[in-house]
Amino acid sequence: MASIRELHRQLTNKERSAEELTRETLDRIETIDPQVRGFLQVMADAAIDRARRVDAKIAAGEAIGHLEGIPIAIKDNICTAGVPTTCGSKILENFVPPYNATVIEKLEAAGAILIGKTNLDEFAMGSSTENSAFQVTANPWDLDRVPGGSSGGSAAVVAANECTVALGSDTGGSIRQPASLCGVVGMKPTYGLVSRYGLVAYASSLDQIGPLAGTVEDAAILLEAIAGYDPKDSTSLKTEIPSYYKALKPNLKPKRHLRIGVIQETFGQGVDPAVEQAVKDALTVLQELGAEVQVISCPTFRYGLPAYYIIAPSEASANLARYDGVKYGMRVEDAENLIDMYAKTRARGFGSEVKRRIVIGTYALSAGYYDAYYLKAQKVRTLIRQDFDRAFNHVDILVCPTSPTTAFKAGEKTADPLGMYLSDLMTIPVNLAGLPALSLPCGFDEGGLPIGMQAIGNVLQEQLLLEVAHAYEQATPWSQKRPKL
Amino acid sequence: MSIDREQVKKVAFLARLELTETEEEEFTGQLSSILDYFEQLSELDTENVAPTTRAIDVSNITRADIVESYRDRDAILNSAPDREGDFFKVPKIGQEED
């Protein structure tokens, strides 16, 4: 699929109407999605109606914004008024939100065409999208493999050219890891840059919404549209949003002495040699573009994973207490009393990974264990932040692999939760520190599967990250490659 | 630290989650290995470290305490599995007296 800039040009030059673009997108989804299974729902009629309004505007000679008429897919844990929002869970199978998330309001105001809702691991808990209660999404590069997760549907539909861009959410890597496994660009913004209002909560101190796109430029355009202060989210940051898109230049030269740190602890044991090599090659390219590369040690980096799997399930166990069969969602009919109704509704409504995390979280927060687990993890979180702070005294951005491996086979890790958790080893510390980071394609392994590189910035350094990623992308062929479907 | 089946049962009850026999057994094993994995955190000295609750701290966020009416009350009430008039309806809570 063409980039947003190219589609925008075609629309404004009347080479193609928004309705034509929308119908082509819907046709493509109809042809391809039975193989990819990235969409849980497609809003065909609403999309065509919306496109016609964009066409009317163009016909009237009015200027249109970059996102006007552009098809976008939405992860199904982001509330869309009047459109089911399931979170990939049976407990919300029939839930229709009465309101829009702030990001949806912003996208509608920008004239984007909401094309459908994408599959995810139930309540965004997982790394392969296999935890969805409804369907398994395939990796468009190899249909027997997973797309990553939890925003696997969003990553897969962008990779498969079913949609120009998509929104995902990232709590421990849920945008970046699937972007890496599907060969697309995915960005997690600084915590608080994008409003979480209307994002179904998993772990509130870590969750962020962000873009998935075919190119860095498309990701920049989408981020610009969704970022900004929102009084409805009390963790929202009051900060000026720059024009990320306009700042993109094809080379690094204007940024004199850009300093890149390679995180020492992210290479070696457990990392695919092909992944390691591709990231090292990417660093050589960045050096050729004018960056100064040095090795940086973040000794507490690897403790992010155990700390996360205490903190996130703890917050989840509290957040998911709201699914009680009273206010919305499913309810079992055969309960004897209220307590029994809660326990049975939750037993039948939640899948096993969600139950596992609720049990871990409840345990970690329970009397007698709070200090040993939850408090300890929160303290380790401080150490991880301090490690990043020290690193950013020496460098402007940090680079490492996004995921230790390329896409794995469906079913390969489902019986081993801990093994599955390890695929988020590189992305999790970033959420714990609230930093912005993006994953961008940096090569392929011998089996033709995409490899992703993660670039991490200091607080609110989205613009710098996008500039560096854009320069790298312009100098390499990776983003032009698309899977054959 | 390991977890036994009784503890899994107790925690599941606290979380209002009914587990099957198979789930109890499976979770006991899986949670034990996950808790073992957590043990590596004890390698870090956190004696004088303050906990982080939010990575990017914003504090004292206040707003005026003004009641706003919601435009579509019925949409909220209709989301409920069962309602009676303007109330959410739930199964019987108390015991009936003879």
The percent of residues in chain A predicted with pLDDT above 90, rounded, is 93
The answer to whether the Cβ–Cβ distance between A362 and B14 falls below 8 Å is yes
Does B1 have pLDDT greater than 70? Answer: no
d(CA A334, CA A54): 50
| A481 has catalytic annotation | no
**3-state DSSP assignment of residue A62:** coil
- The DSSP secondary structure of A274-329, one letter per residue, reads HHHHHHHHHHHHHHHTT-EEEEE--TTGGGHHHHHHHHHHHHHHHHGGG-SSSSSS
pLDDT at A33: 98
Lowest-pLDDT choice from A82-86, A185-189, A436-440, B69-73: B69-73
A26-59 pLDDT, tens digit per residue, is: 999 999 999 999 999 999 999 999 999 999 999 9
The DSSP output letter for A188 is E
pLDDT at B89: 92
pLDDT at A419: 85
Reported residue count of chain B is 98
d(CA B78, CA B70): 14
**Number of Cβ within a 10 Å radius of residue A214:** 24
- Nearest chain B residue to A420 by CA distance is B34
A317-328 pLDDT, tens digit per residue, is: 999 999 999 999
- The DSSP secondary structure of B2-69, one letter per residue, reads ---HHHHHHHHHHTT----HHHHHHHHHHHHHHHHHHGGGGGS--TT-PPPS-SS-------------
| ω into A174 cis (within 30 of 0) | no
The class that CATH gives domain B5-42 is mainly alpha
pLDDT at A102: 98
* HSE of B76, CA atoms in CB hemisphere, 13 A: 9
pTM of the model: 0.97
Residues A471-485, mean pLDDT to the nearest whole number = 93
Contact A167, A10 (CB under 8 A): no
Chains A, B: CB pairs < 8 Å: 163
Contact A186, A212 (CB under 8 A): yes
Contact A22, A71 (CB under 8 A): yes
pLDDT, chain A, mean: 96
The DSSP output letter for A204 is T
- Cα dihedral sign for A396, A401, A407, A409? negative
Does A356 have pLDDT greater than 80? Answer: yes
**3-state DSSP assignment of residue B88:** strand
Residue A157 CB contacts under 8 Å (≥ 6 apart), including other chains: A29, A33, A36, A38, A39, A73, A116, A118, A163, A166
The answer to whether the Cβ–Cβ distance between A338 and B14 falls below 8 Å is no
Chain A contact set for B43 (CB, 8 A): 303
Scanning the structure block, which residue is given the tokens 């004696």?
A: B47
Chain B contact set for A378 (CB, 8 A): 51-53
Q: Which of A150, A154, A314, A423 is catalytic?
A: A150
d(CA A328, CA B88): 10
Chain B contact set for A385 (CB, 8 A): 52, 55
Residue A59 CB contacts under 8 Å (≥ 6 apart), including other chains: none
Q: Which of B34, B62, B96 to mutate to test the interface with A (most CBs of A within 10 A)?
A: B34
Does B96 have pLDDT greater than 70? Answer: no
Domains recognised in chain A with CATH numbers: 4-251+469-480 (3.90.1300.10), 302-378 (no CATH)
pLDDT at B92: 82
**3-state DSSP assignment of residue A95:** coil
Residues A415-431, mean pLDDT to the nearest whole number = 91
Residue at A201: amino acid letter: A
d(CA A123, CA A428): 17
Residue at B48: amino acid letter: N
Domain residue spans of chain B: 5-42
pLDDT at B72: 86
**3-state DSSP assignment of residue A91:** helix
Contact A250, A471 (CB under 8 A): yes
In the sheet with A39-42, reading across from the earlier edge strand, the strands are A39-42, A113-118, A71-75, A165-170, A208-213, A185-188, A437-444, A450-457, A397-401, A259-263, A292-296
pLDDT at A159: 98
pLDDT at A249: 76
Reported confidence tier of residue B35, pLDDT bands at 50, 70, 90: very high
CA distances A43 to A50, A84, A347, A427, B86, Å, are 11, 10, 31, 32, 31
Q: What angle do CA A415, A417, A420 make, to 5 degrees?
A: 100
Q: Which of A174, A180, A195, A439 is catalytic?
A: A174
Closest CB to A205 among B8, B40, B55: B55
Furthest-apart CA pair in chain B: how many Å? 61
Burial A239-265 (b: 16+ CB within 10 A, else e): eebeebbeebeeebeebeebebbbbeb
Q: Which of A3, A75, A128, A169 is catalytic?
A: A75
pLDDT at A418: 84
Contact A410, A130 (CB under 8 A): yes
pLDDT at B94: 72
Q: Where are the alpha helices (DSSP H) in A113-232?
A: 152-159, 176-182, 216-226
Does A70 have pLDDT greater than 60? Answer: yes
The percent of residues in chain B predicted with pLDDT above 90, rounded, is 67
Does A474 have pLDDT greater than 90? Answer: yes
**3-state DSSP assignment of residue A255:** coil
Contact A320, A123 (CB under 8 A): yes
Does A255 have pLDDT greater than 70? Answer: no
Q: Which residue has the higher pLDDT, A246 or A64?
A: A64
